[in-house]
């Protein structure tokens, strides 16, 4: 191998040399909403930070995760993990996307770090289910988004790799603390009451997002969605519909329980009457 | 419900793990491209099966040697590249022509919409390989041949070449989508077919891949089909039809190796 590099002038292409190129490219053309850095001592482990885009239920959140590249990169895909609780993906679980190592058969060697992360973000903005995904309401996502600020500051890798994001988060935390000092009690109880309303508004926003196809990204939307050839667009539609149904079900839930309680009480009364009647008859005999 | 999902996930991981073990076993025992072997070494694989023995006998009248490639789904592309470069290093004018074509291919692919950053990476390595096997090497033909063999057994270079040929194939399919659409079974569009069956590594090649690649590079290929079919002779097919073959391959269901005519 050493003789080959001597005669070729360049070393055999490896995952490391490719990662270096990817790194330089990301520095040159940064991605919208996303920053990514490799670990200083291991260029095959990358950390990323996604900022929740406006018009999405993730707005205001910062999402930290990792990409683990195999030695065979770019011929084999990386594993993708999310570390910050977010309401869309399980944390510390390998995610199953067409761009991750669950699908070596749909992986395309021309994809790079930028493509992977853009694909991840656009998939996050959809509600298509996949292995490693979870369902949650937009309200939950907003709660996660608020909690993500403090959560990420507790991660040493995050603080080391993204000092600029850390400053930004600290500034925002100071801002919210000042505001919270004023009327935390009144807003928190108010927020609970207007929960249904906020939910509806956020849903509408998310809906617009889905229709718009999320972000402009180099990945074909069909490529980004998991499921390979098997009709990914149906899945997307189904996912959106089920999310809507879910929220509708939530608001009817109270009425349903009232009805079922009523039915149980009536049944119990009828039963009592029957028992009463039987006992009376027995007594007469 | 939760626990069911959990075991489902574990099963996926186990399948992936097993697949990796199989791949590792293959890569540990089989080189990417072997040395030249006498064609009759195929007999050992068929344990005196009559049909195959007769067909191999027939084939050995036309071909003396075989060079095996690793059965990893990339065998056609690897065999094609190796065999074609081997022809080119002993044919200076064809080499220069091919080098020019390869040089210009990047621009063409960028115009067809391939991402230029990653494309550049693969193209650069592809060109480097071509330059390293130039017939003008002062060391003479045998040195270039051993250089070629070494390069193709270095996973990095070898796979970069495969990827670039896959991209050229994919580009050709896109360029003449109307024509190639006729060869695709089912409802797949050319676009989906390229992304699912051509561009990803380890995806096996079909006739449509061969035709597109041969046409794009202007290289004739003859494929000898060794299977259980009727008759004691091996059927050959030339791609594109009517051209003089420069590359000779043997196809056994699921796999391509390189052949050397007498």
**CATH code for position A44:** 3.10.110.10
Q: What pLDDT is recorded for position A1?
A: 37
Angle at alpha carbon of residue B203, lines to B198 and B205, rounded to 5°: 70
pLDDT > 90: percent of chain A: 34
Parent domain of A92: 2-233
Chain A residue numbers with beta carbons less than 8 Å from the beta carbon of B134 are none
Q: Looking at the predicted structure, is the pLDDT value of residue A257 above 90?
A: no
Helix (H) or strand (E) holding A153: helix A138-153
Q: How far is A120 from chain B (nearest CA, A)?
A: 18
- Is the model more confident about A270 or about A3? A270
Residues of A in contact with B147 (CB under 8 A): 7
Look up residue A224 and give its two tokens: 């980004």
Q: Is residue A205 part of a domain?
A: yes
* For residue A179, pLDDT beyond 90: no
- To the query of whether residue A49 is one of the catalytic residues in this protein, the response is no
Whether A83 is covered by a domain: the verdict is: yes
Number of domains present in the structure of chain A = 1
Q: CA-nearest residue of chain A to B129?
A: A8
pLDDT recorded at residue B12: 73
Least confident piece of the model among A36-40, A137-141, A256-260: A256-260
CA distance B113 to B201: 20
Model confidence at B45: pLDDT above 50 = yes
Please determine, for residue A248, whether its predicted confidence score (pLDDT) is greater than 50.
no
Which residues of chain A does B199 touch, with a Cβ-Cβ cutoff of 8 Å?
Answer: 108-110
- Work out the pLDDT band at B111, boundaries 50, 70, 90: very high
Helix or strand holding residue A121 (H, E): helix A113-125
State the average pLDDT over residues A229-239.
37
- Looking at every residue in chain A, the average pLDDT score rounds to 75
pTM confidence score = 0.73
In a domain, A272, yes or no: no
Question: What ipTM describes this predicted complex?
Answer: 0.74
- Residue A182 pLDDT level (bands cut at 50, 70, 90): low
Higher pLDDT, residue A107 or A63: A63
Place of tokens 């299977």: B227
A140 near A61, Cβ under 8 Å? no
What is the arithmetic mean of pLDDT over A214-231?
Answer: 39
Phi/psi at B178 (nearest 5 deg)? -60, -40
- Contact call for residues A18 and A47 (beta carbons, < 8 A): no
Q: Does A285 map to a domain?
A: no
Contact residues for B261 (Cβ-Cβ < 8 A; gap 6+)? B62, B63, B64, B248
Task: Look at strands A34-39 and B33-38 and give their pairing.
Answer: unpaired
Distance between B128 CA and the closest CA of chain A, angstroms: 8
Verify whether the Cβ–Cβ distance A102 to B125 is below 8 Å.
no
Q: What would the pLDDT profile of A89-134 be if each residue is shown by its tens digit? A: 999 888 877 677 666 678 888 888 999 999 999 889 988 888 888 8
CB B241 within 8 A of CB B47: no
Residue A270 lies in a domain: no
pLDDT at residue B259 greater than cutoff 60? yes
Does residue A247 lie within any of the structural domains?
A: no
Task: Point out the residues of B that are catalytic.
Answer: 72, 75, 255
Q: State the SS3 of chain B.
A: CHHHHHHHHHHHHHHHHHHHHHHHHHHHHCCCEEEEEEHHHHHHHHCCCHHHHHHHHHHCCCEEEEEEECCCCCHHHHHHHHHHHHHHCCCHHHHHHHHHHHHHHHHHHHHCCCCHHHHHHHHHHHHHHHHHCCCCCCCCHHHHHHHHHHHHCCHHHHHHHHHHHHHHHHHHHHHCHHHHHHHCCCCCCHHHHHHHHHCCCCCCCCHHHHHHHHHHHCCCEEEEECCCCCCCCCEEEEECCCCCCCEEEEEECCEEEEEEEC
Distance of residue A71 Cα from the nearest chain B Cα, in angstroms: 11
Query: What's residue A104's pLDDT?
Result: 67
What confidence tens digit (pLDDT) does each residue in B129-159 have? 999 999 988 888 899 999 999 999 998 899 9
Check CB contact under 8 Å for A107 and B201.
Answer: yes
Termini Cα distance of chain A:
106
Which whole number is the average pLDDT over B44-70? 91
Which single residue is written with the structure tokens 């094609």? B80
Task: Kindly report the length of chain B.
Answer: 262
Q: Is the pLDDT of residue B174 over 80?
A: yes
Q: What is the pLDDT of residue B28?
A: 80
A214 Cβ contact partners less than 8 Å away, ≥ 6 residues apart: A121, A122, A125, A126, A221
* Contact call for B150 and A4, based on CB within 8 A: yes
Q: How many CB atoms lie within 10 A of CB B129?
A: 23
Contact B157 A109 (CB under 8 A): no
- Taking each helix axis from N to C end, the angle separating B92-111 and B207-217, rounded to the nearest 10 degrees, works out to 110
Q: Is residue A165 part of a domain?
A: yes
pLDDT exceeds cutoff 60 at B213: yes
Answer yes or no: is A120 within a domain.
yes
Task: Determine the pLDDT at residue B173.
Answer: 96
């Amino acid at each position: 191998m050493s003789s080959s590099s001597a005669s070729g002038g360049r070393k055999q292409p490896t995952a490391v040399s490719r990662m270096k190129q990817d790194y330089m490219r990301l520095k040159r053309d940064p991605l919208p909403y996303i920053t990514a850095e490799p670990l200083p001592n291991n260029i095959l482990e990358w950390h990323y930070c996604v900022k929740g885009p406006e018009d999405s239920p993730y707005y205001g959140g910062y999402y930290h995760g990792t990409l683990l590249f195999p030695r065979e990169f770019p011929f084999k895909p990386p594993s993708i993990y999310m570390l910050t609780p977010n309401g869309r993906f399980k944390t510390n679980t390998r995610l199953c996307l067409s761009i991750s190592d669950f699908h070596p058969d749909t992986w395309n060697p021309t994809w790079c770090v930028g493509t992977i992360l853009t694909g991840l973000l656009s998939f996050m903005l959809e509600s298509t289910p996949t292995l490693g995904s979870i369902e949650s309401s937009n309200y939950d996502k907003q709660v996660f988004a608020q909690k993500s600020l403090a959560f990420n500051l507790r991660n040493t890798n995050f603080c080391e790799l993204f000092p600029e994001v850390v400053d930004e988060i600290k500034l925002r935390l100071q801002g919210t603390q000042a505001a919270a000092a004023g009327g935390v009690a009144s807003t928190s109880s108010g927020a609970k009451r207007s929960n249904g309303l906020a939910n509806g508004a956020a849903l509408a926003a998310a809906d617009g997002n889905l229709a718009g196809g999320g972000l402009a990204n180099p990945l074909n939307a069909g490529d980004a969605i998991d499921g390979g050839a098997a009709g990914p667009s149906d899945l997307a539609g189904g996912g959106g519909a089920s999310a809507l149904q879910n929220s509708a079900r939530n608001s009817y839930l109270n009425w349903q329980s009232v009805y079922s309680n009523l039915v149980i009480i009536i049944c119990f009364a009828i039963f009592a009457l029957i028992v009463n009647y039987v006992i009376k008859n027995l007594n007469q005999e | 419900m939760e626990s069911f999902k959990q075991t489902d996930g574990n099963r996926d991981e186990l399948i992936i793990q097993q697949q990796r073990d199989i791949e590792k076993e293959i890569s540990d025992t089989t080189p990417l491209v072997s040395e030249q072997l006498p064609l009759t070494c195929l007999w050992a694989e068929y344990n005196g099966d009559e049909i195959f023995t007769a067909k191999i006998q027939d084939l050995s009248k036309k071909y003396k040697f075989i060079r095996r490639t690793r059965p990893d789904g990339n065998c056609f592309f690897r065999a094609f590249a190796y065999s074609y470069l081997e022809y080119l290093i002993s044919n200076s004018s064809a080499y220069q022509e091919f080098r020019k074509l390869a040089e210009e291919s990047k621009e063409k692919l960028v115009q067809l919409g391939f991402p230029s950053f990653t494309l550049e990476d693969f193209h650069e390595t592809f060109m480097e390989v071509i330059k390293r096997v130039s017939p003008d090497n002062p060391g003479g033909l045998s040195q270039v041949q051993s250089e070629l063999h070494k390069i193709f057994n270095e996973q990095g270079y070898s796979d970069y070449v495969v990827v670039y040929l896959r991209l050229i194939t994919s580009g050709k399919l896109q360029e003449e989508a109307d024509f190639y659409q006729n060869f695709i079974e089912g409802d797949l569009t050319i676009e989906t077919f390229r992304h699912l069956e051509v561009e990803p590594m380890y995806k096996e090649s079909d006739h449509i891949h061969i035709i597109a690649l041969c046409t794009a590079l202007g290289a004739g290929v003859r494929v000898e089909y060794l299977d259980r079919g009727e008759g004691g002779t091996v059927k050959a097919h030339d791609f594109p039809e009517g051209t003089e073959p420069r590359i000779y391959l043997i196809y056994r269901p699921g796999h391509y190796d390189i052949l050397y005519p007498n």
